[in-house]
Amino acid sequence: MQFKMISMVSMGNGGRGLFDLEKHFAFYAAYHTNPINVLIHMLFVWPIFFTFVVLLHFTPPLIRFPVPFSDDLSISSAFAVAFVYALFYVLFDRKAGSLAALLCMLCWLATHALARRLGFSLAWKVVLAVQLFCWTGQFIGHGIFEKRSPALLDNLSQAFLMAPFFVLLEVIIYLRKLKASQHGLNY
């Protein structure tokens, strides 16, 4: 059902090995056929990414560049993770990937502000609560509604790297179907 809907999203990569969007989305879709489980993932995947990036703001910088007459310029692990995710998504698909990349970088900016405001002593508690809540929700979604183990048990890298992108694709597909139904079209 969901696999057929992928044609509604740009496939600008031509199906190239690691960046074969259709193949990866088919794998993802096989684990997410129940609409309630899909909705749970739509609600909980990005908060997991977001709070993970919050926590990364409290790690030492990966690289420091000395800048005369100013604070040092540094690259944090939070920026590096958001940038790698963003780059990966753009390489997967120019259109949807660019939107996902924008969301990743907005997450990095927002988490930077949130991490500074909360400080580590409160941030780790918020991160822990959100992570536990969201992961529990997803496991419940798979156990009760999907009646199947989650994809992360079969493909850990896809579960962590691709889940935010695939959830965004699900939202794009849903919005296109909604728009089409309002115009009397059938997808």
Within-domain flag for 108:
yes
Within-domain flag for 9:
no
Structural domain including 56 reads 34-181
Within-domain flag for 128:
yes
What percent of the chain stands above pLDDT 90?
57
More confident residue, 64 or 3: 64
Calpha distance 180→3 (Å, rounded): 18
Number of separate domains in the chain: 1
Within-domain flag for 125:
yes
Within-domain flag for 10:
no
Within-domain flag for 23:
no
User: What local confidence, expressed as pLDDT, does residue 67 receive?
Assistant: 73
User: What local confidence, expressed as pLDDT, does residue 2 receive?
Assistant: 42
Within-domain flag for 19:
no
Residue with tokens 């540094």: 74
Q: DSSP 3-state assignment of 15? A: coil
